[in-house]
Structure 1
Amino acid sequence: MSATERQPSEYQRNALAPSLIAAAVLFTAPLWRSGDLFQVVFFATSILALIVTWFALQARHWWWAPVFFAIAVLWNPVFPIAFSGPIWDAAQPAAAVVFLVAGALIKTPRQQPS
């Protein structure tokens, strides 16, 4: 093997992409507050929270499951919980940071091709 060849990573971070998308949605949520566009925040956040939960369970990082299940429930679009005010405004970026941390930490060993 030459010095220019790259070694494949030992781990894969399946939860990183959905976490980045969810964080982008949550960080921009105040811009979408008017009208029906805020429904997109609810749908995207709850669906991506469930996807990250699945990847966390696959990686055997079960402690993330209740965190993202709670996010999915709080941001669910079917039975929305009527939150408003400064606590709800602070919850949006806090959840975005949780998504980013989980996306960076949830990893599974890469399967070597046979």
Structure 2
Amino acid sequence: MPTPPPRSAPLRPALLPGLIGALGLVIGAVVPAWSDWIVSSYLTSILALIIVVFAAQGRQWLWIIPMFAVAVLWNPVYPFGFSGTLWAAAHILGAAAFLATGLLMRVPPQESAGRAA
């Protein structure tokens, strides 16, 4: 009787983009008068949308909501005029959303199409 192949551990495709996005938002909160805020805005929005794609591909629908909200709030095309203490707190909450998504979103590994049964 052949033994079944070992089960692979779930993947965490959003871990690296989540860590980079959280780092970018924390830097944005610490340095609020940063002259290159547009770079931070692009970085945050693009990484959030990358995580949205990973979540949709892995059918992890719950994680799409906070990441899409981050992508909209930090979008560089039509920026909102937020500033002050509440905006700095939003940076910390956005960083927490990036970290939570990166650490907790797990996607089962996809089966190989060429594997014989």
TM-score range, shorter chain: 0.7 to 0.9
Q: Distance in 1 between matches of 2:82 and 2:14?
A: 27
TM-score of the aligned structures, taking structure 2 as reference length = 0.82
Stretches of 4+ moved more than 6 A in 1? none
**CA RMSD in angstroms, aligned pairs only:** 1.8
Q: Percent identity?
A: 43
8 Å Cα contact 1:59-1:106 kept in structure 2: no
- How far is 1:75 from its partner? 0.2
After TM superposition, the structure 1 = structure 2 runs for residues 9-88 of structure 1, keeping only pairs within 5 Å, are: 9-29=8-28, 30-31=30-31, 33-35=33-35, 37-88=36-87
TM-score of the aligned structures, taking structure 1 as reference length = 0.84
Q: Distance in 2 between matches of 1:109 and 1:66?
A: 20
Q: Distance in 2 between matches of 1:110 and 1:66?
A: 23
Determine helix, strand or coil for the equivalent of 1:78: coil
Q: Which runs of 5+ in 1 are unaligned?
A: 1-6
Match of 1:97 in 2: 96
- How far is 1:15 from its partner? 0.6
Residue by residue, what CA displacement relative to the aligned partner does 1:80-104 show, whole Å, maximum 9, x if unpaired?
Answer: 0000111101000111011001111
Q: Which runs of 5+ in 2 are unaligned?
A: 1-5
Deviates more, 1:54-63 or 1:77-86: 54-63
- How far is 1:112 from its partner? 5.4
Structure with larger Rg? 2
Q: How many residues align?
A: 107
